[in-house]
Structure 1
Amino acid sequence: MIRTRPGLSINHTDWGDLCKNPIALSIETKRQVSWEKALLQICTWHSAQWRALRDHVKDIEFLAGIIVQDHDWFFVASTLEEGKSTTYHRLPLGSTYNAFDSYKLLISLQCLRAWINEQYWPAFRSDVLKLPVEE
């Protein structure tokens, strides 16, 4: 499958190391006044990613992203059903305002890491790379 893709990339981009390592989480940082620009960037990346995955997606349920604005971190997800993408956004993960919110952020990031390792990566290996699922 990789040999048939532009730039021999497993992702929707052929930039640097991103052509060899799967993108599991998109992160965009913007100032507080630029929420729409940050969301547009994540949506653009997810759209390109869904387009690249379109014919190979079976077990990938959603694409994940994070928008960081000042101290606040938000989760963004997009799903693809019947060729149409739906974006869910502004789901708070935590912030760096104080210690308590920082701990919430760390736990949220640990949950995302677990999702990537236990859900996304096995689905990507199976759906896109056509590799057997590791047990």
Structure 2
Amino acid sequence: MTMSENEAPENLDIPDHLSYSEEHAWVDESVSPAIIGITEYAAEQMGELVFVDLPEPGDRVESGDEIVELESSKAVQPLISPVSGTVRYVNREASDDPSVITNDPYGEGWLLKIELDDDEPELLDAAEYAKTIR
């Protein structure tokens, strides 16, 4: 059962220390390289993930690019990069077992570590992101 935007559950985890995109990606800019993943909301909307196609370390990505393909029993959905930079690491564990993304989207389910360009990405804080899904 899919939820419409105004029926999003109130109990979703939206960590305050992360930044968010309107496309339901999160970015942890407090570490270098920055870490990118999908939000708990996105993971719940997708359902059980069955396949994840990650870019290669060294790939250059631009904000707005489709950088990861997520496939579930419900849909195939691209992850739109919220930032520009160079991919340094990919989470092979998440690729080998996509359920780790669904079960722990802000921890073991991270997708990429990316060396950010100097430009400041236009991202939402936790409160702003929460408004987009409620």
TM-score over 0.5 for the pair: no
Greater relative contact order structure (CA < 8 Å, 6+ sep) = 2
Pick the structure with more helix per residue: 1
